[in-house]
């Protein structure tokens, strides 16, 4: 019998991360659901996976804290024997025009989104088993260039650069490194602070005329984590054709 593959999913307690964790479990992987602080939601994700016959554990870590992230990988190896897939979905989003963006908020967002990608990527590069996959998260806002998103988009531009370079640095390991760039997706991160008119307008923009669902993005994660062995160093824009 083939050894069970093991996935670590940061930001796995809610939204796209939660759907990705549950989808990878349905694909047959053991999953470590990583949260920043909402342990109740992380435990609920674990319960949903185990209720469906899967294997999962919850872990808490600030993704920008290298010791905390190393401890998550230690636990995955101790519980499940190794790590094959890392899905780095944890992120912060603070919106404001560039001229008005609070610089402390910018620093905090970039600590999570850029330093966090480095920290998670370092452990993944050192510890993912040959034949594995590393999946980061960008955003389709990079192409859309929506006012108010400069700080967030800048952080995700960094993620795309890191993704391509890490893919090349892992030459010879048979490890793919890709990023997923969702468009407007019906998660609390996207919906919070927007009125119904704004949400309806954004939902009408893609040719498919709807918001994405977290499950739509989880499908792409599943593809990159499993059969998509010839896709490497790419950013997949999962946005319904918006850009």
Walk me through the domains of the chain, giving residue ranges and CATH numbers: 6-180+215-236 (3.40.50.720)
Tell whether the model's pLDDT for residue 1 goes beyond 60.
no
- Overall average pLDDT of the 36-41 stretch: 90
Q: Does 190 have pLDDT greater than 80?
A: no
Of the pLDDT bands very low, low, confident and very high (cuts 50, 70, 90), residue 186 is confident
Nearest-10 Cα torsion for 81, 87, 93, 99? 110
* 2 pLDDT more than 90: no
3-state secondary structure of 57: strand
pTM over 0.85: yes
- What residues are labeled active site? 152
Q: Is the pLDDT of residue 165 over 60?
A: yes
203 pLDDT band, cuts 50/70/90, is: confident
pLDDT score of 169: 98
Could you report the per-residue pLDDT of 207-243, keeping only the tens digit for each? 998 999 999 999 999 999 999 999 999 999 999 998 7
Instruction: Supply the pLDDT for residue 24.
Output: 98
Helix axes 66-80, 116-127, angle to 10 degrees: 40
For 213, other C-beta atoms within 10 Å of its C-beta total 14
- Residue 135: φ, ψ to 5°: -125, 115
Nearest Cα residue to 7 out of 28, 67, 137: 28
pLDDT tens figures, 74-101 = 999 999 999 999 999 999 999 999 999 9
What is the distance between the alpha carbons of residues 208 and 231, in angstroms, rounded to a whole number?
25
Please tell me the least confidently modeled range out of 1-5, 52-56, 146-150: 1-5
Q: HSE-up of 137 (CA within 13 Å, CB side)?
A: 28
pLDDT grade, residue 193 (50/70/90)? confident
């Amino acid at each position: 019998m083939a050894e069970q593959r093991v996935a670590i999913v940061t930001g796995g307690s809610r939204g796209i991360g939660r759907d990705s964790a549950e989808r990878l479990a349905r694909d047959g992987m053991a999953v470590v659901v990583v949260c920043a602080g909402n342990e109740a939601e992380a435990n609920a994700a674990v319960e949903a996976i185990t209720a469906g016959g899967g294997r999962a554990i919850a872990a808490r870590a600030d993704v920008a804290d290298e010791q905390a992230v190393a401890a998550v990988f230690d636990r995955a190896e101790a519980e499940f024997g190794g790590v094959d897939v890392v899905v780095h979905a944890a992120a912060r989003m603070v919106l404001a025009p560039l001229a008005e963006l609070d610089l402390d908020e910018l620093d905090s967002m970039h600590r999570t989104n850029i330093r966090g990608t480095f920290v998670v990527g370092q452990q993944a590069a050192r510890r993912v088993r040959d034949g594995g996959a590393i999946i980061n998260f960008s955003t389709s806002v990079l192409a859309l260039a929506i006012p108010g998103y400069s700080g967030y988009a800048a952080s995700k531009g960094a993620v795309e650069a890191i993704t391509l370079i890490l893919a090349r640095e892992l030459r010879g390991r048979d490890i793919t490194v890709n990023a997923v760039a969702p468009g407007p997706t019906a998660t609390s991160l996207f919906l919070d602070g927007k009125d119904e008119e704004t949400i309806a307008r954004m939902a009408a923009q893609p040719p498919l005329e709807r918001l994405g669902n977290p499950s739509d993005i989880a499908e792409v994660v599943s593809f990159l984590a499993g059969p998509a062995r010839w896709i490497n160093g790419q950013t997949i824009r999962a946005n319904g054709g918006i850009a």
